[in-house]
Structure 1
């Protein structure tokens, strides 16, 4: 009987679809684990293919590549080194499964298929996988491993089945996306499963960005007394050894690497950094270009970009028009210089005037309105896209969740771009993040430890500066009021009366609800952005564009901020 085990946890950052690149990472982790004396290396969910694979998994050629790669990995284990518990797709009897395979002794020694397939929020695994049966334990060199894939830990039946069939250590490969408060929920679930089964638990999560989703890692071990002897660092790849001893009838992990995990504003900032870094690098952009307006959204977006990519890969462009204040021009340059990023000024007067002249005959007899304001935003969008086309840099969009919720954005104008770091961040949180970043340099950031966002940018009243003396509050309630209403409507799906009962003016709630619904068509055309909250726009919240429902009937059917 084996009385000790050394298990390596491989917290890797796979690239979806890059099977050969992911194989290189997997093999490198095994080499390092072998050098450290590991018996087994545990990897995250679907690490060979990348996660979530979406409809790429429906392509037979891709599945064949994945399976051939896994067979090659199995052959590697004939060298007498550590076994591998690998997350991968696998087909059996014509059905495709989300699987965990034990590779040992040159062969596939055991297979287990995910039983609970998530079909909510960002997940749609029922679309691409078949559910497996309730699993029994895997026999690994005399130790019975109770392997359950990701979502299977969220339900007690899989753990119960494993415990009743003799499992000794629970092992959970994960592709668990980040959202605020998620780590506490994972820990609570682990406590429940350990308490119910009386078994210790290994939790291995991937790290990295995949389109809108970010994975934070923070793999850990929990002993039967609910203590955590090992916790890996978040937001970065890593390999750590866990050393196990048989303690009477049960197993116990010795104390090892244990890092704190960031919370609150710090974890939001890390998510934005990693999401942007991986989106830019995995899609092979040389860098980013953004419109630097002198406002807080573009300043924070630029700070995240510099921290994620380095100042030499960030190009900030101020595009003034007649309504742009000298204060904004100055603040934009001060912020770019503080960040160390390239800064340039490209006036848009000639472009806007050209459009106005061209359209004058068609507009004859009509008063100026938001149409002329939107021409300014669209001239800026065209300018940024031209720079992107010429130099290859991706346009980073700077709009926040508050604006996108109510349509306070211009299609083909400030919504132009390939990615957004603020898409799921409310405006009040934008202010908090700016102050937090000025006081902290996040671990792994490539930017300056000094103040990078001038105080004047944080304290000035926000304005789109598309007309004389304009401020955001000309059209919107104060952001603390707006954001609370939006969170009630979007994150919590609260009814009209319940929101009013929180102390909000009924007419304002009615108007904001109406704006949220009529802006859906804009959001469908917005670039992807980092998921932060429980319900981001896109993968989480999928509302129809044509929608006649209103909880509170608006007094008019006008479409504010229509373009």
Structure 2
């Protein structure tokens, strides 16, 4: 049997090239978190077949940041922001929502809720907290109706601090299919807002978030003069406690040893412990911390155990 010999020509060497190496500039923590939140929302929308999102625009910091994230992720033509004022909504909140819409170019709509709330109150005897929560739930119904009618994914805007202590209304402001801020503490929401505006100025574009939405005291505006601090410690203190308890697995004694008021510790830890049933019903969101609710930290929905105290 004959063997055919095949001779291959030598492959000529590749021309010499010079590659300039270097170390990329490190991005800031804020830039890294923002990019993660944008990517998380964009992927969730795309992979679940939605073309657009809708959210309530209250003029507050949380909804403003969610709107900015959504516009960065999807573009303004795929984001619907709905202002849903009640008789307790301040003029500046309405103006701030409209200002953000103008800055970002999203689809802005106004749906006053007071006639709908009055219709309920004309047929039911409600007062106090029940009326406050009714307003939040009417807003949730409006957003879900727009979702059904037009095919939007509803974004809820509660942050990690509120989720931790149960500071939300089930089937109200917690309504939604995705929550970009689910793992973002309140103090970080403010930090991200200022970073995003500063980044816009650095690039020579208009900052998306109005300064007043960042600087004003946070409020759900469900009753006259309401502020978040009526029900919660100041967020600068609350977030430190929550980070220690949730992310750091610290107990009551550890937190008191760090200098926190025992009465405040007892109040916050109790709020966290009894709010698991709300967190179980919350929308998914992008993970950015060591411990995200529903993924890394899950307690029984209900139990009689409480963090020990001296009371």
Same fold at TM > 0.5 = yes
Tell me the CA shift for residue 315 of structure 1. Answer: 0.5
Deviations 1:268-298 (A, max 9, x none): 1011000000000111111110000010000
Contact kept, 8 Å, 1:331 with 1:457, in 2: the verdict is yes
Divergent runs of 4+, >6 A: none
- 2:197 corresponds in structure 1 to 438
Report the structure, 1 or 2, having the larger helix content.
Answer: 2
Residues in 2 aligned to 1:533 and 1:554: alpha-carbon distance in whole angstroms = 31
1:318 is matched with which residue: 72, 77, 83?
83
Tell me the CA shift for residue 441 of structure 1. Answer: 4.4
- 1:268 corresponds in structure 2 to 33
Residues in 1 aligned to 2:20 and 2:199: alpha-carbon distance in whole angstroms = 30
1:365-384 aligned at under 5 Å gives the runs 368-384=127-143
Residues in 1 aligned to 2:205 and 2:74: alpha-carbon distance in whole angstroms = 15
CA RMSD in angstroms comes to 2.1
1:296 maps onto 2:66 in alignment: no
Contact kept, 8 Å, 2:252 with 2:309, in 1: the verdict is no
Contact kept, 8 Å, 1:292 with 1:316, in 2: the verdict is yes
Cα distance, 1:284–1:554 mapped onto 2, change above 3 Å = farther
Deviations 1:531-552 (A, max 9, x none): 0100000111111111222223
**Residue aligned with 1:431, SS:** helix
- 1:552 corresponds in structure 2 to 308
Residues in 2 aligned to 1:448 and 1:493: alpha-carbon distance in whole angstroms = 43
Tell me the CA shift for residue 357 of structure 1. Answer: 1.9
Residues in 2 aligned to 1:531 and 1:275: alpha-carbon distance in whole angstroms = 9
**Residue aligned with 1:300, SS:** helix
- 1:172 corresponds in structure 2 to none
Larger RCO, structures 1/2 (Cα 8 Å, 6+ apart)? 2
Tell me the CA shift for residue 416 of structure 1. Answer: 0.5
TM-score in terms of structure 2 length: 0.90
TM-score in terms of structure 1 length: 0.51
- 2:156 corresponds in structure 1 to 397
1:538 maps onto 2:300 in alignment: no
**Residue aligned with 2:124, SS:** helix
The structure with the largest alpha-carbon Rg is 1
Cα distance, 1:546–1:448 mapped onto 2, change above 3 Å = farther
**Residue aligned with 2:109, SS:** strand
Tell me the CA shift for residue 387 of structure 1. Answer: 0.3
Residues in 1 aligned to 2:119 and 2:310: alpha-carbon distance in whole angstroms = 38
Deviations 1:90-144 (A, max 9, x none): xxxxxxxxxxxxxxxxxxxxxxxxxxxxxxxxxxxxxxxxxxxxxxxxxxxxxxx
- 1:349 corresponds in structure 2 to 114
Residues in 2 aligned to 1:313 and 1:497: alpha-carbon distance in whole angstroms = 49
- 2:96 corresponds in structure 1 to 331
